[in-house]
Amino acid sequence: MTRVLGIDVGGSGSRVAIRLTGAEAGDEFAADGIGVTTGGSTAPARVLALLRCAAQQWPDEIREVAAIGVGTTGMGTLVPQPGELAEELTNELRRLTGRLDVGAAVAIDAVTAHLGALGGRPGAVIALGTGAIAIGGDGRERWHRVDGWGHLLGDRGAGAWIGIRGLEAAMRAYDQVDDSGTALLETAKRRFGEPLTWPSQFYTRHDRAGVLAGFAADVAQLAAAGDPSADAIMALAGQVAARSVVAALQLSPEPVIAATGGIFRAGGTLEAQFLSTVAMLRPDAKVRAPAGNPLDGALLLAHRVAAGEKQTHVPFVWVNR
Say whether the peptide bond before residue 315 is cis (omega within 30 degrees of 0).
yes
What is the rounded average pLDDT of the residues 170-184?
Answer: 98
pTM of the model: 0.86
Beta strand pairing status for 36-37 and 27-31? unpaired
Using pLDDT thresholds of 50, 70 and 90, give the confidence band for residue 176. Answer: very high
Q: Give the per-residue pLDDT at 39.
A: 67
- What fold is seen in the domain 3-119+292-320? Nucleotidyltransferase; domain 5 (3.30.420)
Least confident of 77-91, 125-139, 214-228: 77-91
User: Vertex 134, ends 133 and 137: CA angle to 5°?
Assistant: 140
Q: For the chain, what is the mean pLDDT?
A: 92
Our separate counts of H helices and E strands in the chain read 10, 13
> Above 70 in pLDDT, residue 238?
yes
Burial class (CB in 10 A: 0-12, 13-18, 19+), 30: exposed
What is the rounded average pLDDT of the residues 192-200?
Answer: 95
Tell me: the pLDDT tens digits for 243-285? 999 999 998 999 999 999 889 888 899 999 999 999 999 999 9
> Above 80 in pLDDT, residue 75?
no
Tally of residues, the chain: 321
* Helix H or strand E segment including 51: helix 43-57
Percent of the chain past pLDDT 70, that is, above it, reads 96
What is the rounded average pLDDT of the residues 133-152?
Answer: 92
Q: Give the per-residue pLDDT at 264.
A: 87
| Residues of each domain in the chain carrying CATH 3.30.420.40 | 3-119+292-320, 120-290
For the domain spanning 120-290, the CATH number is: 3.30.420.40
DSSP per residue, 229-277 = HHHHHHHHHHHHHHHHHHHHGGG-SS-EEEEESTTGGG-HHHHHHHHHH
Residues 6+ apart with CB under 8 A from 67: 2, 4, 5, 93, 102, 103, 104, 105, 302, 303, 305, 306
Q: Give the per-residue pLDDT at 222.
A: 97
Q: Which residue did the predictor score with more confidence, 13 or 318?
A: 318
What is the rounded average pLDDT of the residues 114-141?
Answer: 93
Q: Minimal CA–CA distance to 3: which of 61, 51, 50? A: 61
Q: Which residues of 94-111 are buried (b: 16+ CB within 10 A; e: fewer)?
A: eebbeeeebbbbbbbbbb
Tell me: the pLDDT tens digits for 21-70? 766 677 888 888 767 766 667 888 899 999 999 999 999 999 999 999 99
